[in-house]
Amino acid sequence: MTTCELLAPAGSLEKLKIAIHYGADAVYLGGKDFSLRANAGNFTEEEMAEAVSYARSRNVKTYAALNIFAKNQDIPAIESYLDFLKGIWPDALIISDPGLIRLAQKRAPEISLHLSTQANTTNYQSVLFWQDKGIKRVNLARELGLEEIKNIRKKTGLELEVFVHGALCISYSGRCMLSLYLTGRNANQGNCAHPCRYAYHLQEEKRPGEFFPVEEDARGLYIFNSKDLCLIKRIPELLEAGVDSLKIEGRMKGILYLATVVRAYRAALDAALGRKGGEVFSIEDALKELAEISSRQYTENFFYTPPGEQDMLYGGSSVRQPFIPAAVVLKGGPRPILRANHVIRPGEEFEYMHRSLRQTRFEVTTLFDAETGVRLEKTMGGEVVRIECRPRISFEPYALVRKRNC
Ligand code: SF4
């Protein structure tokens, strides 16, 4: 295979620009409704229009998520939303509800349809079914292993997309009632409260505030707390299997996570594709880079065999955070304008994250208010500042600056 797409999440316009900066070939995003990530920030209609045009001008594709399981009362608003999408023309809709597929094909027939993982496609007959229905691409169920993916590829001609990185859901292809049942927040409407990762105790109704431990085994009670998916080492096999798109999960993840994962997968995919030009990194280099962000440890899930006890985190959900995102570059050059994410003080040391798997350490020597030019002693998160630094670096817009978390 000579090409394969790297598909990254875009939970906001800024995240979209960061994902593109670090090498995404395509990004997926959601409007304020109907996209299964109600808390992702998401895009207003104006932002979506800007996102599609920004990405297109950089030869990056945009896929708009419309993957809720709709109720009758949702349909009129979805019709209007489809009319809007038709106007801005993203490269595809990510969709799973058969009714919405029918509606989209009538209302916005020019936009390609990608079947969401929520549709739970686990065999080649299902892929052929969706091919007959006019679907262009299928995101295969996360419950599939390599041999099953290869078999589907041999027997079908649709584009195949596979999740390669991110948090894993206990439920079969994300169809889960746990959150709705325990918290009233419906995962299938994009509002999951992630109760599968809570710590549970028992409380007797006449003894409020007294919590009794519940022990399923010696380690305590768990419902499900999977390690995170990471298939970066398996990219060569996925290319060999004929997969068309590698998808990174995480529209709700932070900017540092996004930048790190996208550039790591970009480097690994380029290495696997044998792309030359620029700096060449190996998949092992990319794996080391992934170790620099917080994770719940990694699993390859169903890739070779179904997951077992070793793929769960029974000890808790805590994550390690080696770096913090210090700032996003808004305007590049040797004296860049940054939007600070955390406190920045002159004299402190930071790392500039290049597009490749390289960073340059630098010291902020002087800090100015970007608007007034007034010199500052420090800046708080959210403020826009101009910096001078040592050594001088040519900063690029939408690159990230990180700081070691001591
Ligand atoms: S509660 Fe857990 S398993 Fe259920 S949808 Fe949410 S994240 Fe997935």
Q: From ligand 1's centre to the CA of 196, what distance in Å?
A: 6
The residue type at 397: P
Secondary structure of residue 199 in the 3-state scheme: coil
Higher pLDDT, 208 or 387: 387
Give me the torsion for CA of 273, 275, 280, 283, rounded to 10°: -10
The pair of structure tokens assigned to 406 is: 């001591």
> What is the residue with the minimal CA distance to atom 7 of ligand 1?
194
- Asked if residue 340 and residue 209 are part of one domain, the reply reads no
Section 204-229 average pLDDT: 76
Q: Hey, which of 172, 194, 249 would you mutate to test ligand 1's pocket, going by the most ligand atoms within 8 Å of its Cβ?
A: 194
CA distance 229 to 226: 9
- Asked if residue 263 and residue 348 are part of one domain, the reply reads no
- Asked if residue 371 and residue 277 are part of one domain, the reply reads no
46 contacts: CB under 8 Å, gap ≥ 6: none
Consecutive H or E run containing 283 = helix 283-290
Q: 283-307 pLDDT, tens per residue? A: 899 999 998 887 788 999 999 998 8
CA distance 195 to 304: 28
Q: Is the CB of 179 under 6 A from ligand 1?
A: yes
Burial of 373 (0-12, 13-18, 19+ CB in 10 A): exposed
- The residue out of 159, 187, 213 marking a domain boundary is 213
Q: For residue 49, give the CATH number of its domain.
A: 3.20.20.70
In this structure, of 6-10, 51-55, 182-186, 339-343, the range with the lowest mean pLDDT score is 182-186
Q: From ligand 1's centre to the CA of 303, what distance in Å?
A: 21
Q: 120-176 pLDDT, tens per residue? A: 999 999 999 999 999 999 999 999 999 999 999 999 999 999 999 998 887 776 677
Does position 24 have pLDDT exceeding 60, yes or no? yes
The pair of structure tokens assigned to 357 is: 């798997």
Predicted confidence at residue 37, as pLDDT, reads: 63
Q: Is the CB of 170 under 6 A from ligand 1?
A: yes
- Asked if residue 340 and residue 250 are part of one domain, the reply reads no
Higher pLDDT, 277 or 350: 350
Predicted confidence at residue 38, as pLDDT, reads: 62
- Asked if residue 204 and residue 186 are part of one domain, the reply reads yes
Confidence at 316, pLDDT banded by 50, 70, 90 = low
The length of the chain in residues reads: 406
Atom of ligand 1 nearest to the CA of 197: 2
Section 66-77 average pLDDT: 92
- Asked if residue 181 and residue 168 are part of one domain, the reply reads no
- Asked if residue 367 and residue 342 are part of one domain, the reply reads yes
Predicted confidence at residue 296, as pLDDT, reads: 82
Q: From ligand 1's centre to the CA of 178, what distance in Å?
A: 7
Q: What is the DSSP string of 40-104?
A: S--B-HHHHHHHHHHHHHTT-EEEEEE-S---GGGHHHHHHHHHHHHHH--SEEEE--HHHHHHH
Atom of ligand 1 nearest to the CA of 170: 3
- Asked if residue 199 and residue 280 are part of one domain, the reply reads no
Structural contact between residues 293 and 248, judged by C-beta atoms closer than 8 angstroms: no
Q: pTM here?
A: 0.92
Residue 37 lies in a domain: yes
Predicted confidence at residue 197, as pLDDT, reads: 78
Predicted confidence at residue 41, as pLDDT, reads: 66
Predicted confidence at residue 36, as pLDDT, reads: 64
- Asked if residue 182 and residue 164 are part of one domain, the reply reads no
Structural contact between residues 146 and 153, judged by C-beta atoms closer than 8 angstroms: no
Residue 237 lies in a domain: yes
Residue 330 lies in a domain: yes
Does position 40 have pLDDT exceeding 70, yes or no? no
Average predicted confidence (pLDDT) for the chain: 90
- The residue out of 311, 333, 356 marking a domain boundary is 311
> What is the residue with the minimal CA distance to atom 6 of ligand 1?
194
Q: 348-401 pLDDT, tens per residue? A: 999 999 999 999 999 999 999 999 999 999 998 899 999 999 999 999 999 999
Q: Is the CB of 194 under 6 A from ligand 1?
A: yes
Residue 316 lies in a domain: no
- Asked if residue 209 and residue 115 are part of one domain, the reply reads no
- Asked if residue 159 and residue 119 are part of one domain, the reply reads yes
Q: 345-362 pLDDT, tens per residue? A: 999 999 999 999 999 999
Does position 77 have pLDDT exceeding 90, yes or no? yes
Consecutive H or E run containing 247 = strand 245-248
Does position 39 have pLDDT exceeding 80, yes or no? no
Q: Which residue, among 330, 258, 244, has the nearest Cα to 294 in the 3D structure? A: 258
Containing domain of residue 333, as a range?
Answer: 323-404
- Give how many domains the chain has, as a whole number: 3
Residue 301 lies in a domain: yes
- The residue out of 291, 311, 331 marking a domain boundary is 311
Does position 226 have pLDDT exceeding 80, yes or no? yes
Confidence at 46, pLDDT banded by 50, 70, 90 = very high
Q: From ligand 1's centre to the CA of 65, what distance in Å?
A: 18
In this structure, of 40-54, 214-228, 266-280, the range with the lowest mean pLDDT score is 214-228
Q: For residue 344, give the CATH number of its domain.
A: 2.40.30.10
In this structure, of 116-125, 180-189, 210-219, the range with the lowest mean pLDDT score is 210-219
CA distance 293 to 288: 10
Predicted confidence at residue 320, as pLDDT, reads: 65
382: left (phi over 0), alpha (psi -120 to 50) or beta: left
- Asked if residue 358 and residue 284 are part of one domain, the reply reads no
Residue 333 lies in a domain: yes
232 contacts: CB under 8 Å, gap ≥ 6: 164, 165, 264, 265, 268, 283, 286, 287, 290
CB atoms within 10 A of CB 343: 13
Residue 21 lies in a domain: yes
Residue 220 lies in a domain: no
